[in-house]
């Protein structure tokens, strides 16, 4: 029975992390895993999260470990949706009297991964997409998730490695010529993982046009809102733009892992957006379907982390402090981009390093080949993914020069 299972490749970020942990070299550097680290290289529970945790504990609410509903914590969901769509600021669509709020159906999920998975299952069962279009490259789990959903995967040429930018022209060309109605289009809402290269606002307009023209269903993966730029409104702009358009149906997989530092707590939400002309009551049917899928998988998402997020987002003062914590993280990441860039320039390392400061978010495609990635690991104990993706938050004032020198060494052969 269990002796002939197919061989499943190990998950790369977790495997790289395990090799790093085993390495005993004192100057080793972990640029593999996508988690925030302080300037000392330590994990950082957000200050506002620690205060919310204490308040939850002190409240001694005897119901705090009871079941949630299948949908999850509704107040958390209202606040989570509002963080994405900013209902008060959204312009009402020209062709409807419906408020934007009615168009969004939300359910709590097992973080961003769970939201991606549930969204994939929901779409697969209900609209039978011919294909899903995934950026090349992308977060590797998109492939696993859509493979499990059983939808044929096609890639669009997202990244231009010679410019270090989003490959707008070729992406649009590919979608125009090869996609079909009801195909799913996976989009990173901000801080594209692994490249750190995002579309400009004008380019988002072009993507929106092609979605309308071809009848595609956008699937926004929102894993870095506020973490990327420190500004939640700015990082959520593309989604709000699609929302305001009105006539388009799409989904959003929202994660609170990075922007609240709640990685292992698994806090997230899936938002299904119906078009402004959809019949009333469609939201009830969407919710019933989502609840059905969740009930059969795990009954409901966990409640602890969502309660922390609810308390912070629902309280003006705590929310302002959260924005300060976001600023601390995004500013440190930006300063490490700058430091790495400056070290490489000072060393005169062959190549153009401008992309390191141009790209945003946690990751950058630093531009090393697979052979160089293995060489830098072997010779300098610097760990990164074989694509050359580095997590900027693994850099700090103590190791950035060492990393730059290691890159310089493998660049020179
Ligand atoms: N999507 C992308 C693009 C990500 O980078 C991540 C985090 N690595 C996620 C989704 C989801 O992470 P989580 O399940 O921890 O929320």
Q: Decide if pLDDT at 34 tops 70.
A: yes
Query: Is the residue at 386 inside a domain?
Result: yes
Can you give the pTM of this predicted structure? Answer: 0.95
**Helix (H) or strand (E) segment spanning residue 292:** helix 282-297
108: which strand partners?
Answer: 269
Planar angle of CA 90, 92, 98, nearest 5 degrees: 120
Query: Is the residue at 223 inside a domain?
Result: yes
Longest dimension (CA), the chain: 64
The predicted model gives 141-153 an average pLDDT of 97
Which residue segment(s) compose the domain that 208 sits in?
Answer: 74-314
Query: β-strand 267-273 against 250-255: which pairing, if any?
Result: antiparallel
**Helix (H) or strand (E) segment spanning residue 109:** strand 104-110
CATH code, domain with 384: 3.90.1150.10
Total structural domains within the chain: 2
Query: Is the residue at 68 inside a domain?
Result: no
321 lines ligand 1 (CB under 6 A): no
Closest residue (by CA) to atom 6 of ligand 1?
Answer: 223
> pLDDT confidence of 188, banded at 50, 70, 90?
very high
CA dist list (Å): 351 to 162, 194, 374, 383: 11, 20, 19, 21
- CB burial class (10 A; 0-12, 13-18, 19+) of residue 402? middle
The tokens describing 24, both together, are 């005993």
Q: Decide if pLDDT at 96 tops 80.
A: no
Query: Is the residue at 53 inside a domain?
Result: no
**Whether residue 205 sits in one domain with residue 136:** yes
Q: Output 89-94 pairs: Cβ under 8 A, ≥24 positions apart.
A: 89/240, 90/240, 90/243, 90/244, 91/244, 93/244, 93/245, 93/246, 93/247, 93/276, 94/246
Give distance in angstroms: CA of 370 to centre of ligand 1.
Answer: 23
Least confident window among 94-98, 149-153, 321-325, 373-377: 94-98
Closest residue (by CA) to atom 2 of ligand 1?
Answer: 223
Of the chain, the end-to-end C-alpha distance in Å amounts to 49
CATH code, domain with 215: 3.40.640.10
Q: Decide if pLDDT at 400 tops 60.
A: yes
111 lines ligand 1 (CB under 6 A): yes
Query: Is the residue at 58 inside a domain?
Result: no
Q: Which of 193, 224, 264, 306 to mutate to test the pocket of ligand 1 (most atoms within 8 A of CB)?
A: 193
**Whether residue 326 sits in one domain with residue 252:** no
Give distance in angstroms: CA of 135 to centre of ligand 1.
Answer: 15
Q: Decide if pLDDT at 325 tops 70.
A: yes
Please say whether the beta carbons of 230 and 327 come within 8 A. Answer: yes
Q: Decide if pLDDT at 386 tops 90.
A: yes
Beta-carbon count within 10 A of 57 CB = 10
**Whether residue 283 sits in one domain with residue 324:** no
Q: Which of 16, 141, 189 to mutate to test the pocket of ligand 1 (most atoms within 8 A of CB)?
A: 141
The predicted model gives 72-98 an average pLDDT of 81
C-alpha–C-alpha distance, residues 304 and 302, integer Å: 6
Q: Decide if pLDDT at 94 tops 60.
A: no
Which residue bears the tokens 């697979």? 370
**Whether residue 349 sits in one domain with residue 310:** no
Q: Given CA atoms 329, 332, 335, 339 in this order, what sign does their dihedral have?
A: negative
User: What pLDDT is attached to residue 279?
Assistant: 64
The tokens describing 170, both together, are 């070729």
105: which strand partners?
Answer: 272
The predicted model gives 69-79 an average pLDDT of 97
With CA atoms as reference, report the closest residue to 81 among 53, 121, 108.
108
Query: Is the residue at 132 inside a domain?
Result: yes
C-alpha–C-alpha distance, residues 245 and 210, integer Å: 13
**Whether residue 94 sits in one domain with residue 200:** yes
Give catalytic residues, as residue numbers.
139, 221, 258
220 lines ligand 1 (CB under 6 A): no
Write down which residue in 275, 295, 314 finishes a domain: 314
**Whether residue 303 sits in one domain with residue 387:** no
Give the nearest ligand 1 atom to 192 CA.
3
Average pLDDT, the chain: 94
Closest residue (by CA) to atom 13 of ligand 1?
Answer: 112
Give the nearest ligand 1 atom to 221 CA.
1
What share of the chain has pLDDT > 70, as a percent? 97
260 lines ligand 1 (CB under 6 A): no
Give the nearest ligand 1 atom to 255 CA.
16
**Whether residue 91 sits in one domain with residue 30:** no
The model's pLDDT over 240-262, given as tens digits with 9 standing for 90+, comes to: 999 999 889 999 999 999 999 99
Q: Decide if pLDDT at 67 tops 80.
A: yes
> pLDDT confidence of 390, banded at 50, 70, 90?
very high
The predicted model gives 354-365 an average pLDDT of 92
What's 100's DSSP letter? G
Radius of gyration in angstroms for the set of CA atoms belonging to the chain, rounded to a whole number: 22
Number of Cα atoms under 13 Å in the Cβ half of residue 348: 0
Which residue bears the tokens 């709590």? 108
DSSP for 297-322, please give it.
HTSS--SHHHHHHHHHHT-HHHHHHH
């Amino acid at each position: 029975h269990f002796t002939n299972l197919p061989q499943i490749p190990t998950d790369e970020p977790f495997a790289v992390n395990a090799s790093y942990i085993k390495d005993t070299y004192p100057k080793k550097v972990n640029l593999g895993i996508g988690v925030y680290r302080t300037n000392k290289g330590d994990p950082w529970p957000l200050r506002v999260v620690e205060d919310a945790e204490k308040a939850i504990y002190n409240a001694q609410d005897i119901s705090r470990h009871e079941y949630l509903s299948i949908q999850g914590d509704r107040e958390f969901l209202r606040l989570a949706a509002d963080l994405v769509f900013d209902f008060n600021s959204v312009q009402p669509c020209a062709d409807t009297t419906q408020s934007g709020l009615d168009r969004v159906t939300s359910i709590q999920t097992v973080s961003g991964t769970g939201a991606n998975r549930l969204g994939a299952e929901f779409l697969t069962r209900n609209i039978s997409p011919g294909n899903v279009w995934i950026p090349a490259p992308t977060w590797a789990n998109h492939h696993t998730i859509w493979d499990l959903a059983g939808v044929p995967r096609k890639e669009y040429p997202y990244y231009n490695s010679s410019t270090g930018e989003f490959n707008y022209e070729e992406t649009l060309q590919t979608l125009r010529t090869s996609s079909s109605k009801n195909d799913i289009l996976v989009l990173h809402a901000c801080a594209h993982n692994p490249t750190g290269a995002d579309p400009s606002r004008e380019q988002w307009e072009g993507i929106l046009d092609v979605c309308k023209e071809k009848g595609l269903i956008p699937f926004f993966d929102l894993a870095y809102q506020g973490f990327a730029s420190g500004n939640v409104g700015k990082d959520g702009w593309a989604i709000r733009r699609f929302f305001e358009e009105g006539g388009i149906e799409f989904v959003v997989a929202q994660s609170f892992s990075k922007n609240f530092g709640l990685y292992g707590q698994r806090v997230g939400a899936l938002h299904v957006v119906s078009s402004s002309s959809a019949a009333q009551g469609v939201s009830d049917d969407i919710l019933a379907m989502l609840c059905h899928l969740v009930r059969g998988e795990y009954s409901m998402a966990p409640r602890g982390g969502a309660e922390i997020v609810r308390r912070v987002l629902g309280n003006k003062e705590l929310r302002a402090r959260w924005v300060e914590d976001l600023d601390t993280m995004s500013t440190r990441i930006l300063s490490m981009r700058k430091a790495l860039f400056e070290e490489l320039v000072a060393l005169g390392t062959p190549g153009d390093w401008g992309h390191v400061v141009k790209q945003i978010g946690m990751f950058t495609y630093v531009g090393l080949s697979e052979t160089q990635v293995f060489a830098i690991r072997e010779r300098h104990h610097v760990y990164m993914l074989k694509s050359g993706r580095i997590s900027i938050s693994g850099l700090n004032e103590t190791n950035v020069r060492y990393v730059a020198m290691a890159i310089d060494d493998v660049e020179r052969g």
